[in-house]
Amino acid sequence: MKILKKDVSRRQFLKEVTTGLFDLTIIPSVSRDSQSKLKDRPFIYRTLGKTGLKLPIVSMGVMNANNPNLVSAALDAGIILLDTAWYYQNGRNEEMIGEVIKDRPRNSYVISTKIFEPRDRITDRFPANAKSDTFVAKFETSLRRLGLDYVDLLSIHNIYKPEDVLFEPYLNAMLKLKKEGKTRFIGLSTHQNEPAIIREARVSKKYDVILTAYNFRQAHRKEIEGEMELAVKEGMGFVGMKAIAGSVYNIGRKVHVNAKAALKWALQNENIHTNIAGFTTFDQMETALSVMENLKLTPEEEADLEGSKHYSSLYCQQCEVCRSQCHAGLDIPTLMRSYMYAYGYKNLQAAKEALNQGQISRIACIDCDSCNVRCAMGFDVRERALSLSKIQDVPESFLV
Ligand code: SF4
Ligand code: SF4
């Protein structure tokens, strides 16, 4: 059979990016030794603001995990909060969690899920004619997949603009669902414009919890910290995300973020009540849990984080400096987020989903010889965008 050039590049691409999540043929379970080791682990708890939920400071962001034994082991080890979303792994993520929790007491875990709704391509806002029905229908699907009558936390997934914090169709839908007992608390998640979005949410007094990106690489971390401080004083709960800032500094995967140091760094801020660590292996879970032994950074860990500034990163801080620079109007922040999912997290499905969310059906860099985009973090935007173009050829069925 003749092998087309396109097929070769697709195969090479899949080989490059899939070493962890999608090539698992044997799903390991946790060993007895590991179980007892995990049970002996000291835990630090914080209260998630006015929800009153007392949680270990390390929670599980299930997004990239596809191993039910790992999720089970996390709960057995003492983790309480599992964070998922309607679109993760095309719904399989919620289904997997549903399987894991079905025989466990309902008060032994806390489930957080998020509903993503599309934005207007030009304004990046929710479309003015959006209705609550789609949001509610997606949430009902999430409940079915999880096998639950209610979740503990329901959030609007990834608000881009502070003006959308009070977007009535979705906010009112969540308030109604809360009243009906289908969610105990409501929240939002934010990966960009975090300070302004946190401020809007605080002033509105409508939200219980915010899931925010927060890590040692963010240039605007001081602004985030200032807004968190104010919001926590008014009872807001905070769940930290993206603590390890993309996991690796380059796609050759030669230089890894010191995950333990990065997680410690985020959790030293007591306004982060818990952090959803995105571990996908038992070793990574042990590393995440081990931060609770001592949150103080060792001199080596401090040096690792400090030294990181000499490297570029896979983490796009979504600062939007590049937003208006591309003459083809590409949504570069979304492209760079997708790139991080593909090459940092090894999660092709999430990478493709990000492209779909940004309605990026074609990567214009293919026909563009000179790139005028200057990224605030020094990324070679064209090179990264081109390497992503291959994802669009990968059939959905291959990714789920
Ligand atoms: S690509 Fe660079 S400039 Fe654009 S949002 Fe990301 S970090 Fe900022
Ligand atoms: S190379 Fe890509 S990102 Fe750069 S200007 Fe051209 S289309 Fe825009």
| DSSP at 341 | I
DSSP codes joined into one string, 258-301: -HHHHHHHHHTSTT--EEEE---SHHHHHHHHHGGG--SPPHHH
Write out the H or E segment, with its range, that includes residue 238.
Answer: strand 237-241
Most confident of 113-127, 289-303, 329-343, 386-400: 289-303
φ and ψ at 126, to 5 degrees?
A: -60, 140
Query: Which tens digits make up the pLDDT trace of 45-60?
Result: 999 999 999 999 999 9
| DSSP at 120 | -
Give the three-class secondary structure for 111.
strand
Pairwise CA distance, residues 85 & 242, whole Å = 15
**Region 186-210 average pLDDT:** 97
| DSSP at 248 | B
- Mutating to test ligand 2, I would choose from 330, 331, 370 the residue with most ligand atoms within 8 A of its C-beta, which is 330
Write out the H or E segment, with its range, that includes residue 240.
Answer: strand 237-241
Which atom from ligand 1 is nearest to the alpha carbon of 378? 2
To which residue do tokens 């914090």 refer?
165
Pairwise CA distance, residues 296 & 288, whole Å = 14
Q: How far is the CA of 217 from the centre of ligand 1 (A)?
A: 13
Q: Judge whether 71 and 82 are in contact, CB under 8 Å.
A: yes
Q: How far is the CA of 320 from the centre of ligand 1 (A)?
A: 6
Pairwise CA distance, residues 238 & 241, whole Å = 10
Structural domains of the chain sorted by starting position, each given as residue range(s) with its CATH number in brackets: 5-16+316-399 (no CATH), 31-308 (3.20.20.100)
Q: Judge whether 319 and 220 are in contact, CB under 8 Å.
A: yes
* pLDDT bracket for residue 38 (50, 70, 90): low
Pairwise CA distance, residues 371 & 393, whole Å = 23
To which residue do tokens 């208006």 refer?
324
Q: Judge whether 166 and 197 are in contact, CB under 8 Å.
A: no
Query: Which tens digits make up the pLDDT trace of 242-279?
Result: 998 766 656 565 667 889 999 999 999 999 999 999 99
Residues contacting residue 75 through CB under 8 Å, at least 6 positions apart = 82, 100, 101, 104, 108, 109
Q: Decide: 385 in ligand 2 pocket, CB within 6 A.
A: yes
Q: Judge whether 14 and 346 are in contact, CB under 8 Å.
A: no
Say if residue 113's pLDDT is above 90.
yes
Query: Which tens digits make up the pLDDT trace of 327-354?
Result: 888 889 989 989 888 887 778 888 888 8
Residues contacting residue 304 through CB under 8 Å, at least 6 positions apart = 258, 261
Cβ burial of 368 (10 Å; 0-12, 13-18, 19+) is middle
- Least confident residue range of 91-105, 165-179, 386-400: 386-400
- Mutating to test ligand 2, I would choose from 323, 372, 388 the residue with most ligand atoms within 8 A of its C-beta, which is 372
Q: How far is the CA of 301 from the centre of ligand 1 (A)?
A: 26
Which atom from ligand 2 is nearest to the alpha carbon of 335? 3
What's the whole-model pTM score? Answer: 0.82
Q: How far is the CA of 42 from the centre of ligand 2 (A)?
A: 49
Which of 390, 400, 299, 399 is closest to 11 using CA atoms? 390
Q: How far is the CA of 322 from the centre of ligand 2 (A)?
A: 10
Pairwise CA distance, residues 387 & 251, whole Å = 11
Partners of 56 in the beta sheet? Answer: 45
Say if residue 20's pLDDT is above 50.
no
Give the ligand with the smallest distance to the CA of 334: 1
* Residue 29, number of CB atoms within 10 A of its CB: 15
DSSP codes joined into one string, 26-93: S-----HHHHHHHHT----EEE-GGG--EEESEEEE-TT---HHHHHHHHHHT--EEE--TTGGGGHH
Query: Which tens digits make up the pLDDT trace of 62-112?
Result: 998 999 999 999 999 999 999 999 999 989 999 999 999 999 999 999 999
Residues contacting residue 1 through CB under 8 Å, at least 6 positions apart = none
Going by CA atoms, what residue is nearest to atom 7 of ligand 2?
A: 365
Q: How far is the CA of 139 from the centre of ligand 2 (A)?
A: 37
Q: Is the model more confident about 30 or about 106?
A: 106
To which residue do tokens 């959905």 refer?
396
In order of 120, 142, 212, 304, 308, the CA distances from 258 in angstroms are 37, 34, 20, 7, 9
Q: Is the model more confident about 7 or about 142?
A: 142
Q: Judge whether 290 and 72 are in contact, CB under 8 Å.
A: no
CA 188 to chain centre: 12
Say if residue 13's pLDDT is above 70.
no
In order of 128, 202, 215, 304, the CA distances from 263 in angstroms are 39, 25, 8, 13
* pLDDT bracket for residue 7 (50, 70, 90): very low
Pairwise CA distance, residues 302 & 308, whole Å = 10
Supply the pLDDT for residue 5: 40
* pLDDT bracket for residue 34 (50, 70, 90): low
Which of 53, 58, 154 is closest to 112 using CA atoms? 154
Ligand 1 lining (C-beta closer than 6 Å): 316-322, 332-333, 336, 375-377, 379
